[in-house]
Amino acid sequence: MAGDDVLLAERRGPAAVLTFNRPDKLNAISSTMLAALAARLDEAERDDDVRAVILTGAGDRAFVAGADIGEYAEGDRDAFVRYQRESRRVFTRIDAFPKPVIGAVNGYALGGGFEIALCCDVLIAARAARFGLPEGLLGLSPGGGGTQRLTRAAGPFVAADVLVAARRLSAEDAFRLGLVAEVVEPDDLLDAAAAKADAVARVAPLSAVEMLRLVRAASDLPLEEGLDAEHEALFRLRGTADAGEGIRAFVEKRDPRFTGT
């Protein structure tokens, strides 16, 4: 596939590991990288053996340190708009991906890198990770969901600080704010992400799909509508073969054998 060199793909147990691979550019997001990422997500969605996707960055300096500013400088306004719209489309694809997406954040997650992280379902950060939305320092503002997703995830006061004061969050800051699930040593990052993917794989696939959908909708729905949606999901799941198997396995004190049906 064209662009494979800027996005590496490998399997690690039940997870598809996608690595942003422009370490000399701090893994800045190019148009080629966006196209490769969209294609690899399509492949991971079609593969029933893939239970989770892990996103990470090559090297130890950056997850993704933002957009490729070189493309900004070389292109005209129309090219800039096309790039931003494609970024938004691919980021939304990550946000709505039907399988859990785990972000393994090593180093800088700035601008579009933080926006990608905010689209993940679970974040694990190396202790040296740094998060920020510094677009205001370029006379710009975020275009891949940073203002909206950070506000929903951490609240308006934190979002305003990160945006209008260009504050960078440490891994520990992000953990305290509930953005990051775990902070680990850099050498342990991929192992921790793989362990999280193994844990995901033990959950019934249809249950994971329903629960992700409910979590993603929770901030947009009134409580009673959310509770109604929760009941509807539970009642659908109760009629599946996996629910029958899970209940039998619990009674029989054995591990369930889920089939995704």
Known catalytic residues?
A: 115, 135
Question: CA-CA distance, 121 to 196, in Å (whole number)?
Answer: 11
Find the distance separating the first CA and the last CA of the chain, reported in whole Å.
32
How far is the CA of 168 from the CAs of 84, 110, 111, 116, 122, in angstroms? 23, 9, 11, 16, 20
Beta-carbon contacts of residue 222 (< 8 Å; ≥ 6 apart): none
CA angle at 231 for the pair 227 and 236, rounded to the nearest 5°: 150
Structure tokens at 94: 């990550």
CA-nearest of 43, 18, 52 to 33 is 18
CA-nearest of 85, 79, 94 to 37 is 94
Beta bridge partners, 184, equal: 126
CA atoms 40, 44, 45, 51: torsion sign: negative
Report how many helices (DSSP H) and strands (DSSP E) the chain contains, helices first.
11, 10
